[in-house]
């Protein structure tokens, strides 16, 4: 008997997390599902994946994307009862996503019309519910459309329409579906989606409660989330060996650890101090000699981070890579022993002329036990696009190791770091070198006044300065920044630069 080949009849339907490769297929799907409404942009969907990929799902049927849904986590109690879709999604970019929140907020579900009645929407909702159970969140909240209301607006109010649908006297493809899936009505919000003409801009605020939610004593609304930072204004002086350098670095790390600091920040080009004993007068050759100490440098700071239980921004160090080119790299040495690095992206004319330094190609943001941080080396902080990209990727603190030889150069770094703190509602930290290295070409003099900056608003430090060193002397400065205050001010501050950006007329396009 001939066997029937069942494989040719098989159709594979899977619900999975959205990936970057799906974006090009999701955009046309939204145009089909929501004709006349403003669709997602690539930048918005990329932002969703950067900030909360777990909360973004697609339905894939036989290799075709036929549905998707997007969401973020918030503390719903912090939002106004009459909030809009723009309010709760930061205009679709979800930069207000709060991993420590209690509620999953669903911001969109769509299914290709051709594949409706296949319970695709139900499967996507089940994926959300499973995520809520796994993350131990209290509930799912959604602002649901009522797309059939336009047919009844002359006969009844939105409230009356919703009541009729709830009593199964009228069928609404969205509201009826949500009620069947266990959601209960909280209220009706006007002006929720300005371009939703079918719903006449109304939305039903609905909630599904996670009956498996277990309150945990370690989870509570934080009135404070302090992070202590020790900034080292490092003296460049003559030394005789790498051991001398290691002794200086360990001394400061010990000081920071005694103060129970979470981070210690060293300046840019800190290892050029090694040139003081290398006896090489040609700058380009001297720099290559410094790169020979890369492994010792990494081993030193890794051991210090673990031994003193502190996250170290190890200034920056010149590294020769496999292409035989030299790069200026800032390293993050976490206290758990792991290491990250950020290449300097903008090279100064001086670095090109004397040392032939090459530029990096990628903006990075790093997870730490004190939230997400970025490192932008000296000149990089003078380019506002980089700080905006890092902020959109979730950074709350930008560390800027710097090395300047005169007051003019220093002030460029300082003024720009302060501006980045205001523009992005973020903390910025600058740490510079002082002193001198006689007979060391291109590193002979230094000028610095290191500092920690905050946004300028009532809840932050006066003048937006958490703390600063005295100019041009060797010292440390220790200051506390509060990430909870930062989060609240982004939501309810006197001004809200992140929320009030005009995405409709400008954008920062990161090409990586």
Residues with catalytic function: 268, 344, 378
Whether the Cβ atoms of residue 374 and residue 390 lie closer than 8 Å to each other: yes
CA–CA separation, 171 and 166 (whole Å): 9
Nearest to 365 by CA among 397, 395, 386, 335: 395
Whether the Cβ atoms of residue 230 and residue 466 lie closer than 8 Å to each other: no
- Tell me how far CA of residue 338 lies from CA of 136, 228, 314, 341, 400, in angstroms: 28, 20, 13, 11, 20
CA–CA separation, 505 and 105 (whole Å): 27
CA–CA separation, 183 and 232 (whole Å): 54
| Strand, coil or helix: 271 | helix
CA–CA separation, 485 and 227 (whole Å): 11
CA–CA separation, 82 and 314 (whole Å): 47
Nearest to 238 by CA among 269, 268, 278, 267: 278
Q: In what side-by-side order are the strands of the sheet with 64-74? A: 13-17, 57-61, 64-74, 103-111, 139-144, 203-209, 184-189
- The values of phi and psi at residue 374, to 5°, are -130, 160
Whether the Cβ atoms of residue 38 and residue 88 lie closer than 8 Å to each other: no
Q: Which residues, 6 or more positions from 291, have their beta carbon under 8 angstroms from its beta carbon?
A: 318, 319, 320, 326
Q: Which residues pair with 231 in a beta bridge?
A: 265, 477
- The values of phi and psi at residue 199, to 5°, are -85, 0
**Tokens standing for 218?**
């370690």
Beta strands in 112-209 (DSSP E): 139-144, 184-189, 203-209
CA–CA separation, 476 and 452 (whole Å): 12
């Amino acid at each position: 008997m001939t066997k029937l080949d069942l494989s040719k009849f098989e159709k594979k339907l899977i619900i999975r997390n959205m990936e970057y490769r799906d974006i090009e297929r999701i955009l046309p799907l939204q145009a089909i599902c929501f004709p006349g409404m403003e669709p997602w942009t690539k930048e918005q969907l990329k932002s969703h994946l950067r900030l909360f990929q777990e909360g973004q799902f697609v339905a894939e049927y036989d290799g075709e994307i036929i549905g998707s849904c997007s969401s973020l986590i918030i503390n719903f109690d912090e939002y106004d009862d009459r909030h809009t879709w723009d309010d709760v999604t930061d205009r679709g970019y979800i930069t207000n996503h709060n991993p420590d929140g209690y509620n999953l907020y669903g911001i969109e579900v769509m299914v290709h019309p051709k594949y409706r009645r296949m319970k695709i929407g139900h499967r996507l909702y089940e994926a959300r519910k499973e995520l809520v159970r796994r993350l131990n969140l209290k509930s799912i909240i959604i602002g649901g459309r009522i797309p059939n209301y336009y047919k009844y607006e002359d006969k009844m109010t939105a409230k009356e329409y919703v009541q009729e649908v709830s009593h199964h006297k009228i069928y609404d493809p969205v509201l009826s579906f949500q009620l069947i899936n266990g959601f209960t009505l909280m209220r009706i919000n006007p002006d929720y989606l300005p371009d939703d003409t079918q719903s006449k801009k109304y939305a039903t605020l609905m909630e599904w409660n996670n009956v498996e939610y277990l309150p945990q004593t370690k989870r509570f609304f934080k009135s404070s989330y302090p992070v202590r930072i020790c900034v080292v204004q490092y003296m460049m002086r003559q030394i005789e060996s790498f051991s001398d350098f290691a002794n200086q670095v360990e001394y400061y790390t010990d000081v920071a650890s005694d103060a129970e600091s979470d981070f210690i920040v060293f300046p840019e080009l800190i290892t050029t101090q090694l040139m003081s004993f290398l006896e090489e007068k040609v700058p380009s050759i001297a720099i290559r000699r410094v790169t020979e100490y890369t492994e010792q440098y990494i081993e030193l700071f890794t051991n210090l981070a673990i031994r003193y239980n502190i996250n170290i921004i190890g200034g920056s160090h010149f590294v020769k890579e496999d292409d035989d080119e030299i790069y200026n790299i800032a390293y993050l040495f976490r206290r758990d022993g792991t290491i990250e690095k950020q290449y300097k992206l903008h090279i100064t004319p001086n670095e090109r002329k004397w040392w032939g330094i090459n530029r990096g190609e990628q903006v990075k943001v790093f997870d730490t036990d004190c939230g997400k941080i970025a490192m932008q080396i000296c000149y990089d902080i003078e380019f506002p696009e980089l700080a905006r990209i890092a902020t959109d990727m979730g950074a709350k603190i930008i560390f800027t190791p710097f090395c300047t030889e005169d007051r003019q150069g220093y002030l460029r770094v300082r003024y720009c770091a302060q501006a980045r703190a205001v523009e992005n509602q973020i903390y910025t930290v600058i740490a510079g070198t002082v002193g001198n290295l006689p007979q060391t070409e291109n590193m002979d003099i230094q000028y610095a006044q290191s500092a920690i900056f905050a946004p300028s608003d009532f809840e932050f430090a006066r003048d937006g300065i958490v703390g600063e060193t005295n100019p041009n002397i060797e010292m440390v400065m220790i200051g506390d920044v509060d990430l909870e205050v930062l989060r609240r001010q982004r939501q309810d501050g006197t001004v809200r630069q992140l929320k009030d950006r005009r995405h409709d007329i400008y954008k920062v396009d990161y090409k990586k």
